[in-house]
Amino acid sequence: MLAPRESIYTHYQPAYIPDHEPGAAAYWFISRTGNLLIRETADGVEIPEAAESGELGLAIRRTQYVGTWKGTPCYAASAESEIASVEGLAFHPLRSLYGKMDEGLFHLAGRAVQLAAFGLTHRFCGTCGTETVPSPKEHALLCPACGSVSFPRLAPAVITVILKDRQVLLARAKHFTNNMYGLIAGFVEPGETLEDCVRRETKEEIGIIVTNIRYFGSQQWPFPHSLMIGFIADYESGEIHVDGEEIVEAGWFDSDKLPVIPSPVSIARKMLDWYVEQYAG
Q: What is the pLDDT of residues 191-240, one digit of tens each?
A: 999 999 999 999 999 999 999 999 999 999 998 899 999 999 999 999 99
Give the predicted TM-score (pTM) of the model: 0.88
Average of per-residue pLDDT across 84-106: 85
Domains 8-121 and 155-279 fall in the same CATH topology? yes
Give the model's pLDDT for residue 7.
83
Give the model's pLDDT for residue 276.
97
Distance CA(181)–CA(191), nearest Å, equals 30
Give the model's pLDDT for residue 85.
56
In single-letter form, the type of residue at position 43 comes to D
Q: What is the pLDDT of residues 38-50, one digit of tens each?
A: 998 888 899 999 9
Q: What is the pLDDT of residues 109-160, one digit of tens each?
A: 999 999 999 999 999 999 999 999 999 899 999 999 999 999 999 999 999 9
Q: Give, in words, the CATH class of 8-121.
A: alpha beta
Please report which confidence band the pLDDT of residue 87 belongs to, taking 50, 70 and 90 as the band edges.
Answer: confident
pLDDT at 3 over 90: no
Tally the residues of the chain.
Answer: 281
Average of per-residue pLDDT across 78-93: 78
Give the model's pLDDT for residue 4.
57
Q: What is the pLDDT of residues 7-56, one digit of tens each?
A: 889 999 999 999 899 889 999 999 998 899 999 888 889 999 999 988 88
CA 117 to chain centre: 13
pLDDT at 86 over 80: no
Average of per-residue pLDDT across 241-267: 95
Give the model's pLDDT for residue 41.
85
For residue 91, give Cα distances in angstroms to 36, 77, 112, 185. Answer: 5, 13, 15, 29
Please report which confidence band the pLDDT of residue 280 belongs to, taking 50, 70 and 90 as the band edges.
Answer: confident
Q: Give, in words, the CATH class of 155-279.
A: alpha beta
Distance CA(264)–CA(251), nearest Å, equals 22
Give the model's pLDDT for residue 71.
95
Average of per-residue pLDDT across 88-104: 90
pLDDT at 83 over 70: no
Give the model's pLDDT for residue 1.
59
In this structure, is the dihedral angle defined by the CA atoms of residues 7, 9, 14 and 18, taken in order, positive or negative? negative
Domain ranges for the chain:
8-121, 155-279
Give the model's pLDDT for residue 58.
84
pLDDT at 162 over 60: yes
Give the model's pLDDT for residue 61.
83
DSSP per-residue string spanning the chain: -PPP---GGGTEEE-SS--SPTT--EEEEEEETTEEEEEEETTEEE--EESSGGGGSS-EEEEEEEEEETTEEEEEEEESS---S-TTEEEEEGGGGTTSS-HHHHHHHHHHHHHHHHHHHTSB-TTT-PBPEE-SSSS-EE-TTT--EE----EEEEEEEEEETTEEEEEEETT--TT--B-EEEEPPTT--HHHHHHHHHHHHH--EEEEEEEEEEEEETTTTEEEEEEEEEEEE------SSSEEEEEEE-TTS--S---TTSHHHHHHHHHHHHH--
- Other Cβ atoms less than 10 A from the Cβ of 58: the count is 20
In this structure, is the dihedral angle defined by the CA atoms of residues 24, 25, 29 and 30, taken in order, positive or negative? positive
